[in-house]
Every structure is written in structure tokens, then in C-alpha cells.
Amino acid sequence: MADPFLSIQHVRKSYGQNTVVQDFSLDAAPGEFVSFLGPSGCGKTTVLRMVAGFEEPTAGAIHVGGKDVTRLKPNQRNVGMVFQAYALFPNLTVAQNVAFGLKVAGMAKADADKRVAEMLGIIHLPIDQFGSRYPYQLSGGQQQRVALARALAPSPKLLLLDEPLSALDAKVRVSLREEIRSIQQKLGITTIFVTHDQEEALSISDRIAVMYGGRAEQVGTPFEIYNRPATKFVANFVGTLNVLRGTVSDASSGKVRVGEGEVMLKNKLNGSKSGDSLTLALRPEAISLGRQPGRDANLGGQISEVSFLGSIIRVKVGLGTDAVSLDTFNSPASPPPAVGEKAEISFSPDDVLVLHD
Amino acid sequence: MKSGRFWAWLTFGIGAAYFFIPLIATLEFSLRMRRGVYSLDAYQVVLGDVRFQESFGYSVLAAIFTIILGILLVVPAAYWIRLRLPHLRPIVEFITLLPLVIPAIVIVFGYIRMYGSNSPLPFLATAGGTNVLLVIGYATLALPYMYRAVDTGLSTINVRTLTEAAQILGAGWTTIITRVILPNVLIAVLSGAFLTFAIVIGEFTMASLLNRPAFGPYLQLMGANRAYEPAALAIIAFAITWGCMSLIQLLSRYAPKPASYSR
Amino acid sequence: MTDISLSRPAVADNSAPPAAARGARLPTQWLGVAPFFLFAILFLILPTAYLMVGAFQNAEGAFTLDNIAALAQPSIVAAYWISIKVSFASSILGALIGVAIAIAIVRGGLPSWIRSATLTFSGVASNFAGVPLAFAFLATLGRLGLVTVLLNVLFGFNIYSTGFNILSFWGLTLTYLYFQIPLMVVIIVPAIDGIKKEWGEAAATLGATGAQYWRMVVIPVLWPSFLGTVILLFANAFGAIATAYALTGSSLNIVPILLYAQIRGDVLHNANLGYAIAFGMIVITGLANVFYIWFRTRSERWLK
């Protein structure tokens, strides 16, 4: 990357014998929105806290805007942070909360007031209505927006968000994540967003770092992460995955036996020999019910489950010992497939992921 | 924050000193009865004193009756308030706050004036009646603590749901209270009981003004006339209080935890 | 027949039909709470009200403000004044020392067993008032007390030569601290627990130093709890008698001791004056508790 604004270089964090972050590196361009995505305990929050300055890396360095900040205290780093639990100061009004960073920096009252009004406008909580309210009088979503305004008011160099939406209702989560993204783009501030919710990460990030066991499994755009997962963990964690077991019947021609049927996977065998077992994975949207042009691989099976979800019909097709789940659109003219019917599925060999453990 | 830790240890150290030195001094003083050598003479004298045994026994008995009275008053009330009469809660909480506002001496003063020989309820006319009044007074002093203990215990077990579940299964009120509610609040009730015991054993004002032979007035008498025995008595009193509190702590570990519904 | 309409208690109350229609049986809940309320009325409210009314009556039972006026006599005013001074001193000192200890055990980075041990001990010590406490302090700082003797033997310093005396205002205050400090610790520790770690971290990311965070967030948040508890400690000390009686006897004439003597032997030769003294005590402790509740509600509202 040309001139990364944030550079995390080979950081490691150990508590005694326990190493929580193994060897994490990431460069973020100015104005980029990067998500750290992973299950609990994968180390994503620890890396974020090291960038904020609350934890000191056991090894490695962190550079922000070309400066080495690894040894700086949190209050010297000029980063904005939004917490899962909002962390608004309960004794201060909304306006006073937002003004906190400005007051600490010694900004003149008139300038600070202007800035506070501006920030409250950005989060759509106008100062005349909400400015003198206390945090306990606000809903969770409103509190988090105030927390965002507070973090951004002192014009920090970096914005860090630690699972900011996890404590909110589902609907609020969706609208607030879009609001966070649009504010971030408008201000052009480099942002790190920690979450365990893959839909959140996929929908608003420029790039995602999928983490597991203290390491980055893959760093890429949402499209790359979803469609070209580098490891089995990433493929499983992000999106739904159908898994089929197969045996290579003829390595030279690329024939793989799956249950009763056979598919041709020419470029995907990666040196596997005849007789080797393979794990094949397919996204539901890559599979069609019945034959489809362009999807040359076919397998026969029996419909085992049908769930009518309205516009979508979710169908599960058993293929011997394995089963795949696929979605088909509702058609008002024809009834959904019946359980027990024989069915054929088709997919393109290019969409098959051959998983390595 | 290294310097922070230093100040914390210093503060804690000074605090610990302030609280332990008097205990050590009292213990040391109590061992000084025999000239020149440490001995348990003071304790022997105290424990062998007939008046100690009588007054201590009296107070223990009074404590037991107070506990029973407290349970009979508080448990049904707390249960029904939670279940059916939530709008009475502020009144009840105000009532349980009163013994903390009105000093014991004022309460017992009121008793003396109201329940003398020529009142409709002449408690003070007989010794037995006065004993009853003393127990009543103790129950009044212990009321805030007993109520809070029982109320906390009830809040942990989600009374409404348990009662409804029991009723659907066909239980009547007696069964519900004795076999569903009481076992679950037993720990909380016992905590309140031990606190009541500690309060009653050490109580002085009411017993003294009602002229009853309780442990408090005995302690006061000893202090006025003797040198070493009061120290031994203080150690004994402290040990009893410590024992009660430790039992409460122990019990709280066995209290039912609220069932979690989320996740 | 069992009434199973528990989900709508309001209905259960309003729709209680006359006893005759339901078969001469009162709704069980009223039977359950009746003993409690009866007890409270007979043994808490009525006796106190009796005294309050009596404070405004003369010997013949007619209404008068003379008793209240008589509170202004020098000996009684002196008693109230000493009570107020002792309560004030022990509550302020107890509060400051208590909050320092509470902060030390919650946020001081000390081993976790210290916190639970301190809280248990505080529960014990706050109940260790009364006669045994007086004995303990006599054994410590009395003329033959351990500390007095040790200071004399080890450093040649006789504290009694400086005019100190355990049987005095400061001696009593020092003794009162033994249950005031633990009471403060027990009450304020939950409030300090309520200071969330994230607030400190948020303040740090916003550029605040530790001192600024304390000044702008922690102290204002703790202030209502702290002040409310000071007031509670004041009321607690004001009503206490046993410790003072055992320690200083009637040499330090605080109000409860005055009332005690009056109840025992009508030393003021005016029974109704005793009522007035009790009335004065209740006014002071009542006001204190009202303020305590007001402060506590405010702080609880913030920290929801």
C-alpha cells in the first residue's frame, strides 16, 4: 500500500503463557473503513485496544500518520473510540458529553458550542431538542449516536468502534450501521470496526480482516472474502456453505465422484491424486434446482425439506449422505416442490470451492 | 498506576490498623487479670458468673422469639406485596425505613408512655407483658433488615411465575407457601435471622429502660464496676457478631441464583 | 376456590366483591399483610405519634408550644449542640476515611481477597456499636489502655499529658468512627462499582488525564451518594446512645443521654418536656433521612 495511514506491524500480545494475538499485521489507507470480523476470543478487540493504547503490544509496532504511537498513552493518541456499552458520562448532558474532548483540549466555549451543534446535526439529534437531555433519558440507539458524535468532535485522526451495535435492537442495528458508514465517508476518517456479525462487516466495509485464534485468516474486500475464502474457517464463518464430500476418480480428467454422481472439476484438483478424498463447498446461490444453462455440473438427489419463507423457498436436497441447501424464488403460478420428490441440482464447476483444512 | 497502588496499600494499612488495634488491645487487656502473667482468668470469671449466664440466656431467648415474630410478620407481607399488592410497596418501604429514622430510645419512650398500667394494652403491668413488649421492640429494630433480606430473597426467585406454575399443577395456598416459596427464601430468612440475633444480643437502650435482665444492661453494669471482665465480654460480643456475619456470608453462597432467560 | 387471576392484580383488587357474595372470606392477600401493618401501627407509628402530640401538650392535655419553647433552655441547647457536633465530626471524618478505604479496595489494584474481607469485616464492625465498643476503646486509649501504655513505654510519650482524654468529645468521636467508617464503606462500595471502566477509557481517548477524568466525571457522579451517606451517618450518630453512655456516662451530655435520664427519673421535672426532646430528635433524624433519600434517588436515576 502506497502510504498507509494506519500501519499495524506484526503485533503480538501475550498474557503470561497465553498468547491472545499471534502475529497481526494490517495497513489501512487514509479514509478506509476496515472491519475486524471473528468469533469471541479471536483477538479482534485486543488488537483494537492496542491501537487505542489500552494494551501494550508484547511485540510489534503501530504507526499512525507516519508516527510511531506504540508507546504513547491513550490520551496522547488523538483517536476517537466508540464502545459497546456507549460509555456516556451520566452526570453530563448530551451537549456536555459531546463537548468533553473539546473542553479537555481547552477550546474556547463559543467555538466548542458551535462544534457541538454541528456534530449533533450530523447525527440527527438537533441540539435544541436533545442538547440538555441526560443519557438515561435516551434510547440505546440515540446514546450510541451521541457517543459517536462525542468521539468525532475533537477531529481525531482515527475512529475505532468496538462492537458498537451489539447491544442494540435488530432494526436499530441496521439503520445505525448505515448511518455510521455515511458519516465516516463524509468525514473521510480512517476507521476500524470490530464485530462478530458478518452481515454488518460485509455490508459497510471497504475491507475485512477475518480473524481466528489471534491471527488474521484473510484480509480482503467483502467480495473477495465471500467468494474466494482463503481458508476453511473463513468459508464457514462468512455466509452459508454447503459441504459435499467427494473422491477423485480420475485425476487427469478432473473427475470427482460425489455420492452417486460425478462432476468435472478440471482446474481445482491442486495436485490431488486419484483415490484422494476432497471436501467441496458451494454457496447456496451457486446451486440451481433442475438444469440451468451455464451450470454444467449435475447431481441427482431427493428433496428432504421445503421451507416456504414468502418470496423465497428454501429447499434442502439430499445427495446420498450429504445435503445441500438452496433458495429458489416463489412463483405464484406453481406450487413449491414437495418433500420426497426426486430432484436434480446444477452448478458451475468454477463456483466450487475445494477446501483445505 | 504504580503510585496509585502505593496509596491504596497505605490507606488500607492505616484503616486496618485503626480497626485491629482496639481489638488487639481489648484482647490483651482481657488477658491481664492475673497480675504479671497472661491468663484466661477474666474469661473464667465472666463465663462462670451466674448473672452472665442468666442475662445471656435471657437475650438468646429474646432473640429467638424476635426472629420468629419477625418471620411471621415479614414473610407473608413481603410475599403478598410482591404478588398481589405492588402498589402498597412504597408504604411498606417507608414503614421499614422508620426504625432507622426514629432512634430506639424514642421508640421505647413511646412504649413506656403508651403501654403503661393504665392503657388499654397494659404490657408494662406485668413482667411477662414487659418481656413481650421488649421482644416487640427488638422486632421493630430488626424490621428494616429482616424485610430487606426477605424481599431480596423473593426478588431472586421470581415469585409470580413460581406461584402460577404451582397453581396450574393444582397446589393450594398452604402448599405453595410452605413447599414452594419458603424453601427458596429460607437462606434469605436465615440471613435476616442472624442479623436480628446480632442486634438483639448487643441491644442496650430498650432493655435498660424497660428494666429487663438482658445482656446489654449486664454489660453496662460490668463496665461500671469491673476492670478486666468488660474487656473479656467485649471480645466475646465481637466474636458472636463476627460469627453471625460469617454465617450470613456462608449462607449467601448457597442462596438460589436468579435463572437467566436470555441467550 | 383459588383465585388464579394473578396477572391482573388491579382487577383482583377492584373486583373483590362483598364478603357475603364470595362466601364470607376476605381476599387472602389482605389477611397476609394485616399482621405487618397492625404491628407497624401499634408499635411504631402510634407510639411515635403519641410522643409527637404530647410534645405540644401541657400537663393538663391542652395544646401549647411551651414545651418546644422550653427546649431553648441552656442545658438542653447545650445537649443538642454537643450531639450535633459529635454527629457532624464523626460523620464527616467517617465519610472521608470510609470513601478513601472504599476506593482503595475497589480501584486500588489490591488483591481481590482484600475487598471481600474488608466488606465482611465492615458488616461486622458497623454492628459492633454499643457497650462492647466503649470497652474496646477504653482498653485501647484509656489511661491504662494498651496504646497509651505502649506509647509511654516505647517513646516516653504520655498522650494524657497533652490533655487528651478518651472520655471526651474527641474520644467519643474517635470511638464512633469505628461503626461510621464501615457503614460508609458498605454503602459507597456499590456506588464506586458503578463507575464503569469504559468511562475512564472513553475519557482517555478524548484526551483527558486521570485527574481531569476524576474531576469532571467520577467526583460528580459519586457526589450525591457521598453526600447522602454523610447525612445518613449523621442521623446514625445522632440517635446512638449505648456507646456514649458506656464510655462517657453522663459526663458528656448528648441528647439521647439527656432523654435517657429524663425517662428514667424525670430530671427535668416536666414530663412533656421529654416529649419535646424526643420530638426534636425525630425532626433532626427525619430531615436527615429525607435528604439522604433525595440524594440517593438522584444518583440512582443517573446511573440507570
Could you please report the per-residue DSSP string of C238-278? HH--HHHHHHHTTSS--HHHHHHHHHHH-TTS-HHHHHHHH
Q: A69 is written with which cell numbers?
A: 504511537
Residue B182 main-chain phi, psi, to 5 deg = -60, -45
Where in chain B are the domains?
49-254
Q: Which member of A80, A92, A136 has the closest CB to residue C205? A: A80
CA distance B42 to A112: 72
pLDDT of A269 over the 80 cut: no
Chains contacting B (3 or more CB pairs within 8 Å):
C
Contact criterion met (CB < 8 Å) for C217 and A92: yes
Rounded Cα–Cα distance for residues A338 and A340 (Å): 6
Check if the beta carbon of residue A104 is closer than 8 Å to that of residue A163. no
**What confidence tier does B259 reach under pLDDT thresholds 50, 70, 90?**
low
The string of pLDDT tens digits covering residues C93-141 is 999 999 999 999 988 888 888 888 888 888 788 877 788 888 888 888 8
- Kind and range of the H or E element at B258? none
Q: Which chains touch A (3 or more CB pairs under 8 A)?
A: C
* pLDDT per residue as tens digits for the range B131-161: 999 999 999 999 988 998 888 888 878 788 8
State the alpha helices, DSSP H only, in chain B. Answer: 2-30, 41-48, 50-83, 89-101, 104-114, 127-157, 159-168, 173-175, 182-202, 205-209, 215-225, 229-254
Residue C6: pLDDT above 60? no
Q: Name the strand (E) or helix (H) holding A207.
A: strand A207-212
What b-and-e string marks burial along B243-259, b requiring 16 or more CB atoms within 10 Å of the CB? ebbebbeebeeebeeee
Most confident of B52-56, B181-185, C75-79, C142-146: B52-56
Q: Do A81 and C212 touch (CB under 8 A)?
A: no
Q: Please state whether at least 3 CB pairs lie below 8 Å between chains A and B.
A: no
Tell me the per-residue pLDDT of C253-295, one tens digit each, with 9 for 90 and over: 888 888 888 888 877 777 788 888 889 889 998 888 888 888 8
Contacts with C303 from chain A: Cβ below 8 Å: 90, 136
Cross-chain Cβ contact C201/A87 below 8 Å: yes
Interchain proximity B216–C130, CB inside 8 Å: yes
Question: Which of B65-69, B254-258, C153-157 reaches the highest mean pLDDT?
Answer: B65-69
Query: How many helices and strands, by DSSP H and E, does chain A display?
Result: 9, 20
- Do the chains contact at C36 and B114, CB–CB below 8 Å? no
**Which of C4, C36, C101 is opposite residue B167, by nearest beta carbon?**
C4
* Among chain C residues, CA nearest to B219: C131
Say if C4 is an interface residue toward chain B (CB within 8 Å): yes
pLDDT in tens, B62-120: 999 999 999 989 988 888 888 888 888 888 888 888 888 888 999 999 998 888 877 88
Angle CA(B158)–CA(B160)–CA(B163) in degrees, nearest 5? Answer: 110
CA A244 vs CA A321, A354, C78, C84: distances in Å: 9, 10, 93, 83
A297 pLDDT higher than 90: no
Instruction: Compute the nearest-CA separation of A168 from chain C (Å).
Output: 16
Mean pLDDT of chain C: 82
Which of A171-185, A258-272, B201-215 is predicted least confidently?
A258-272
Contact residues on chain C for B31, CB-CB shorter than 8 A: none
Which residue(s) pair with C57 in the sheet?
C63
Top-ranked range on mean pLDDT: pick from A265-274, C138-147, C184-193, C265-274: C184-193
Whether B130 contacts chain C with CB within 8 A: no
Average pLDDT value for residue range B202-218: 90
In whole angstroms, give the CA distance from residue A97 to residue C115.
32
Portion 160-219 of C in contact with A at CB < 8 A: 196, 198-199, 201-209, 212, 216-217
Q: Which CATH architecture has domain B49-254?
A: Orthogonal Bundle (1.10)
Q: How confident is the model at residue A323 (pLDDT cuts 50, 70, 90)?
A: confident
CA distance C83 to chain B (A): 13
C107 contacts in B (CB within 8 Å)? 4, 8
Res A130 pLDDT > 80: yes
Single-letter amino acid code for the residue at C171: G
Q: If you ran DSSP here, which 8-state letter would residue B120 be given?
A: S
Determine which helix (DSSP H) or strand (DSSP E) holds A278, and give its type and residue range: strand A277-282
**Residue B29's pLDDT band (boundaries 50, 70, 90)?**
confident
Residue C3's pLDDT is 40
pLDDT of residue B256: 67
Residue C22: band (very low, low, confident or very high) from pLDDT cuts 50, 70, 90? very low
Q: Could you please report the per-residue DSSP string of C183-198?
A: HHHHHHHHHHHTS-HH
Q: What domains does chain C contain, in order, with CATH numbers?
A: 71-303 (1.10.3720.10)
- pLDDT band, very low/low/confident/very high, at B222 (cuts 50, 70, 90): confident
pLDDT score, position C145: 82
For C97, nearest residue in chain B (alpha carbons): B15
- Nearest Cα to Cα of residue C240 among C227, C252, C224, C228: C252
Q: What one-character-per-residue DSSP string does A58-80 give?
A: SEEEEEETTEE-TT--GGGS-EE
Contacts of A91 in chain C (CB under 8 A): 217, 220-221, 302
Please tell me the distance from the alpha carbon of residue A206 to that of residue C126, in angstroms, as a whole number.
60
Q: Find where cell 475445494 sits.
A: A354
In chain C, % of residues over pLDDT 70: 90
Q: Tell me the shortest Cα–Cα distance from A187 to chain C, in angstroms.
A: 18
Q: What mean pLDDT comes out for the span C173-190?
A: 90
Among partner residues A79, A89, A92, which is closest to C205 by beta-carbon distance? A79
Q: How many CB pairs under 8 A join B and C?
A: 274
Interchain contact, C108 vs B77, CB within 8 Å: no
Closest CA relative to residue A104, chosen from C209, C214, C197: C209
> Could you tell me the three cell numbers for A58?
508484547
Q: Give C-chain residues touching B70 at CB under 8 angstroms.
A: none
B15–C146 CB contact, under 8 Å: no
